[in-house]
């Protein structure tokens, strides 16, 4: 999943614990104008090279569980099971993943109708342009997903990719997704399930701190805390939900989904990896250097083992749900 480390207020605005909703919306729109349009070559969040390797490893784990080679392949496979599928994406940003990766990976790309929702008018406009270029049947709607209202039994596949952890009304949204799915429809998500604000759980923090002690100074520069790289003597375990909607209720994402939909596949990941290798610190690593490679391998092995043994909590998950027909 191409996501950047949660934003810690690099726009320089004052951070307060009680930013009102409209101001958060404004900041969120500003952030993703920057991340998905101004600073992006392909409409997705730019990620360090090491993060692509982490994502590749997760794709293998998804394959082991679902039989499809990664999250994109799972969505394409589900679309392929239906004639003229109705495909909805929530918090779709520029719709680049849907238009440029998922739909081209299907066997009959022109039969699909793609509906994308986001409250950012600029990113939806980019999606509309890309869909027109590729001949994708597209409906882009600028709306607040927290106020989602879906037509009953309309969608074959609903997707939320790196988006649920930005939403506030999680129970309402999960209920609407369940309502909007056709009886054999599926909801697919790749998302963040960390502690709220992307703050580390105490047990994860102990392990992150131990690995952090081994990092040379050169690897302790955060790339997303401000305009310039910032030196961090310790891992900066700060609450990133104080501005915008980053991880605003991330620890409630899974419980809400499980209350309203039936889980088919669940792949937990990244108890540690995201803290070292995605956008905040990942740019400090070059796996061509012996220390970096050794450190990377040790973190990844510790991460996989801790997740498998349920000793640490995942920051990321991939999951597939089906409609709960008798939902209350």
Ligand X SMILES: C[S@@+](CC[C@H](N)C(=O)[O-])C[C@H]1O[C@@H](n2cnc3c(N)ncnc32)[C@H](O)[C@@H]1O
Distances (CA, A) of 133 to 88, 92, 183: 19, 18, 32
Q: Which is nearer to ligand X, 174 or 207 (CB)?
A: 174
Q: Which is nearer to ligand X, 44 or 306 (CB)?
A: 44
For ligand X, what does the binding mask look like between residues 58 and 97, x meaning CB under 6 A? ---------------------------------xxx---x
Helix (H, G, I), strand (E, B) or coil at 188: strand
**Shortest separation between residue 320's beta carbon and ligand X, angstroms:** 17
**Shortest separation between residue 57's beta carbon and ligand X, angstroms:** 19
For ligand X, the binding residues in 126-165 under the rule CB under 6 A are: 144-146, 161-163
Q: Which is nearer to ligand X, 205 or 278 (CB)?
A: 278
Among 58, 27, 100, CA closest to 273: 58
Strands across the sheet with 113-118, in order? 137-142, 113-118, 86-90, 155-161, 181-192, 316-322, 262-269
Q: Which is nearer to ligand X, 72 or 302 (CB)?
A: 72
Q: Quick one: tokens of 290?
A: 């012996």
Q: Which is nearer to ligand X, 134 or 324 (CB)?
A: 134
Q: Which is nearer to ligand X, 100 or 178 (CB)?
A: 100
Measured CA to CA, the distance from residue 157 to residue 150 in angstroms comes to 13
**Is residue 83 within 8 Å of residue 30, measured between CB atoms?**
no
Exposure on the CB side of residue 186, measured as CA atoms within 13 A: 18
Q: Which of 87, 119, 212, 318 binds ligand X (CB under 6 A)?
A: 119
**Shortest separation between residue 284's beta carbon and ligand X, angstroms:** 22
Q: Which is nearer to ligand X, 161 or 277 (CB)?
A: 161
**Shortest separation between residue 247's beta carbon and ligand X, angstroms:** 10
Measured CA to CA, the distance from residue 255 to residue 202 in angstroms comes to 20
| Residue 120 makes contact with ligand X by CB under 6 A | yes
- Taking contact as CB under 6 A, which single stretch among the options 65-73, 118-126, 214-222, 304-312 is the one that binds ligand X? 118-126
Q: What is the pairing mode between strands 230-231 and 221-222?
A: antiparallel
**Is residue 243 within 8 Å of residue 10, measured between CB atoms?**
no
**Shortest separation between residue 76's beta carbon and ligand X, angstroms:** 15
Instruction: Report how many residues bind ligand X under the rule CB under 6 A.
Output: 21
Q: Which of 7, 28, 115, 205 binds ligand X (CB under 6 A)?
A: 28
Give the N- to C-terminal CA distance of the chain in Å, as an integer: 32
Q: Give the residue at shortest CB distance from ligand X.
A: 93
**Shortest separation between residue 243's beta carbon and ligand X, angstroms:** 13
For ligand X, the binding residues in 192-251 under the rule CB under 6 A are: 245
Q: Which is nearer to ligand X, 88 or 163 (CB)?
A: 163
**Shortest separation between residue 35's beta carbon and ligand X, angstroms:** 7
Helix (H, G, I), strand (E, B) or coil at 181: strand
Distances (CA, A) of 272 to 79, 197, 265, 296, 311: 33, 16, 22, 11, 12
Contacts of 234 (CB under 8 A, 6+ apart): 209, 212
Q: Which is nearer to ligand X, 116 or 272 (CB)?
A: 116
Catalog residues that contact ligand X under the rule CB under 6 A.
3, 28, 32, 44, 91-93, 97, 118-120, 123, 144-146, 161-163, 166-167, 245
């Amino acid at each position: 999943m191409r996501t950047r480390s949660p934003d810690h207020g690099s726009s320089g605005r004052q951070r307060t614990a009680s930013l009102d909703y409209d101001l958060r919306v404004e900041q969120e729109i500003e952030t993703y104008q920057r991340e998905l349009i101004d600073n992006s070559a392909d409409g997705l969040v730019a990620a360090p090279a090491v993060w692509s390797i982490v994502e590749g490893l997760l794709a293998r784990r998804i394959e082991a569980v679902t039989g499809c080679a990664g999250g994109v392949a799972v969505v394409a496979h589900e679309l392929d099971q239906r004639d003229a599928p109705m495909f909805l994406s929530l918090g779709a940003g520029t719709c680049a993943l849907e238009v440029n990766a998922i739909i081209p990976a299907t066997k009959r790309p022109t039969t699909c109708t793609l509906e994308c929702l986001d409250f950012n008018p600029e990113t939806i406009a980019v999606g509309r342009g890309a869909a027109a270029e590729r001949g994708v049947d597209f409906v882009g709607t600028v709306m607040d997903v927290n106020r989602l209202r879906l037509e009953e039994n309309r969608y074959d596949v609903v997707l939320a990719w790196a988006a649920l952890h930005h939403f506030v009304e999680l129970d309402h949204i999960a209920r609407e997704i369940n309502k909007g799915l056709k009886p054999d429809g599926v909801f697919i998500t790749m998302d963040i399930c960390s502690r709220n604000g992307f703050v580390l759980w105490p047990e994860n923090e102990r392990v992150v701190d131990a690995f952090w002690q081994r990092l040379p100074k050169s690897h302790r520069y955060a790339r997303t805390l401000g305009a310039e790289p910032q030196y961090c003597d310790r891992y900066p375990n700060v609450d990133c939900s104080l501005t915008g909607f980053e991880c605003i209720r991330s620890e409630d994402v899974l419980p809400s989904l499980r209350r309203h939909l039936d889980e088919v596949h669940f792949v937990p990941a990244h108890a540690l990896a995201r803290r070292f290798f995605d956008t905040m610190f990942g740019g400090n690593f070059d796996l061509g250097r012996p220390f970096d490679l050794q450190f990377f391998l040790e973190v990844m092995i510790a991460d996989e083992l801790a997740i498998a043994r349920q000793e640490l909590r995942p920051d990321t998950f991939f999951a597939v749900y089906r409609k709960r027909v008798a939902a209350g």
